[in-house]
Amino acid sequence: MGNDSSSLAARKGLYRPEFEHDACGIGALAHLQGKRSHQMIDDALSVLVNLEHRGGVGLEKNTGDGAGILFQVPHRFFRKEAQKCGHILPAEGDYGVAMLFLPRDDEGVASAVRIFEEGCARCGVPLLFWRDVPVDPHDLGDTARECMPTIKQVFLARPDDVEGGDEFERRLYVCRRTIEKAAASDPALEGRIFYVCSMSARTIVYKGMLVSTQLRRFYCDLDDASTETAVALVHSRYSTNTTPSWERAHPNRYIVHNGEINTLRCNVSWTRAREANLYSPVMGADLANVLPILNGEGSDSSMLDNVLEFITMNGRSLARAVSMILPEPWDNNDNLSDKRRAWDAYQSMLTEGWDGPAAIAFSDGCVTGATIDRNGLRPARYYVTSDDRLILSSEVGVLDVDPASVLIAGSLGPGQMLLVDPSQARVLFDDEIKDAFANEKPYRSWIDAEMLTLDELVGDDAPGAQAPSAPAQTGRRGQAPLSQPDDGLPLHVRQAQHGYFFDDVEEAVIPMARDGKAPLASMGTDSPIACLSERPRSFFDYFNQLFAQVTNPPIDALRESFITSTLLYVGNHGNLLEDARANCRLVRLDTPLLDRAQFQALARIEKHGFKPVALSATYAADDGPHALAEALGVMRARAEEAVRSGADLIVISDRAGKGRVPIPSLLAVASVHNHLLRRGLRTHADIIVETGDAITPHDFAALVGYSASGIYPYLAHDTIAALCERGVIALGSVEAQRNYNRAVVAGIVSVMSKMGIST
């Protein structure tokens, strides 16, 4: 991981570097037959110059937010440069090139060189020679010049025991990650920059804290006529709320990205959770050397690139990796074939999408492609010309093209992809690409054989079947039946236990149960925030919703319901790196809201080969001032013990009998979730919660946000049943409870849309 301290602002006050995003201009050029030329470099740089309006500048007009280019390793140029230094390069593909940003001072450079060479020696990668990259910094602004790193290239030979192509790329990846981790922990580089722009036998990245017009003048290599490529990605960066830096300029190692990842914290959390359970049939023991997957100091774009690189290096094609991380809208799309829907469903079982407005161009030096987010919130327009070239950008007009030479002109639709594959000498479009993926494995038969639905579970649920047992309500580890009747406590007592107020029933429960939608309310509130309020407040009131802002649009969930999905899968999630039928052994939930029958079916799912365990989220009222902390500790310990023993569903219930105090469900869920994350067990089991304190859509959205996969609001349902019995709600209790659940789900979707996410 790069030590980026020299050019990134440190965490201070309300500033958090992990919240940085950007909105930019992107471009991609590729020759359909893989023909290399310097003209491709010239044209790519022209595209970049014409994207200057997309890039940001600082107070100084010549200090930019970032600009760069990715292209194929220019063998003819490097062979000539090697001869100048008295070296002879191996054949093309038999050597790799690392492009490095190193400290500015001589002592720091010496330390960085030592760490790099030691890492290469440990990984068995022969180092050929170092090269100082010729640069012309005279046109840079003072800010960019003052933090400009030392820029060097390292040439590395293919080891004799490693085949060329993918295997050599994989060895270079392992070597780079080994070096990055050593650099991050070495005191000699503390506070100094160490960043590997690229390290590959196929591609190289030239970038920096530049304005688009400066890139060609800054990097002298780009003007040499022997610098040739058949592929080029360019990027002009505009930082919406970030601190520009040399290393955060694009391209990354595989992608250029225009947009923002709204689900980043979720994606980061789940990526880290998976690491403890990954097995790589391709990488084997080397897997440990490349973990962790993410550079936590990177931007959202660089972390997306980290994940794509990791998946690709473990044997999947780059296009397949992109389709996993940036999925198409499929759950409500009846126009897709059954095979395609099965493939999309399978992918959603392996990993969540990285959601948010995004246009991405990608290349590994062999294939080049592009995709946009499932809402189509960032544009990608393209030409295919008669001279066998793809020209793609965030807008038209970035390169002068004779209209008569344009064979195909178009733009990518929501979730669509295109791909240039020189081995086929043509452009592959979305349906062809993804239909081929869908035919790789029998995904439909796997799903039909392994996946369960709630309807199937409810239909098969035999009366009187044994539910899993929960800790006894004595605070000790004895057993008591789940969903016990609260010792016959009256409804109003149970409501008081869980913090119900008259307003909650009148303004939330009744309208939602009666009308099937949340009541209308004006924007704003004149009530004090929870931490300053004099009256008791729900635990949920201490949390506020995020919302999309700056260049990041919210989503109209009503008009874009085609894109929006509340689908969830629960159980023991499979290995991201290997396609297998066992990965489908999950239960599908169409929404996180459950009724009593659905909850009980999940609680009794043991007969279907699953292993649920129940945890009581309560403690004795007379257990003293540390009772809450002790009860949470018991929950965490029992959850860990259960998961290590094979449990794949954790059912948390806050039903509290006489003398018991319910733990806030959000606190209970978050405590168990984070404990299992820390233990590397979280992907082995999902959390279902039976709760009495969740009332409004905000409450349920918070529970989902803290990783509850299924929620049964038993006390809200009991309240609705009582209101129906008294005639306050003129509906049957079952219909009213369904209305309430429907209103809550609509509220969750509304919260999602304000955050700018779709699933």
Q: Which residues are catalytic?
A: 24
**Sequence-ordered list of residues with C-beta below 8 angstroms from that of 595, at least 6 positions apart, any chain:** 712, 717, 737, 738, 741
> What whole-number distance in Å separates Cα of residue 633 and Cα of residue 619?
11
H/E segment holding residue 716? helix 714-725
CB count in 10 Å sphere of residue 53: 10
Cβ–Cβ under 8 Å, residues 5 and 191: yes
Strands (E), 230-322: 231-236, 255-259
CA distance 447 to 88: 54
Instruction: Give the Cα-Cα-Cα angle 225, 246, 300 (nearest 5 degrees).
Output: 110
Cβ atoms of 648 and 605 closer than 8 Å: no
Cβ-count burial of 333 within 10 angstroms (0-12 exposed, 13-18 middle, 19+ buried)? middle
Q: Partners of 391 in the beta sheet?
A: 29, 383
Buried b (16+ CB within 10 A) or exposed e, 399-422: bebeeeeeeeeeebebbbbbbbbb
Instruction: Give the span between the Cα atoms of 246 and 210, in whole angstroms.
Output: 8
Cis peptide bond upstream of 251, omega within 30: yes
Q: Rounded distance, CA 301 to CA 295, Å?
A: 11
CA distances from 613 to 273, 469, 604, 648, 748 (A): 20, 7, 10, 8, 27
- Residue 254 neighbours by CB under 8 Å, 6+ apart: 305, 308, 309, 312, 318, 362, 363, 364
What is the C-alpha to C-alpha distance for residues 556 and 567, in angstroms, rounded to an integer? 18
Q: 491: how many CB neighbours lie within 10 A of its CB?
A: 14
d(CA 661, CA 408): 67
Cβ proximity of 722 and 495 under 8 Å = no
Residues 394-399: contacts with CB under 8 Å, at least 24 apart? 394/24, 394/25, 394/26, 394/27, 394/51, 394/54, 394/258, 394/359, 395/25, 397/50, 398/27, 398/46, 398/47, 398/50, 398/51, 399/43, 399/46, 399/47, 399/50
Q: Are 137 and 145 in contact (CB under 8 A)?
A: yes
Tokens of 698: 């905000």
Both structure tokens of 660: 């018991």
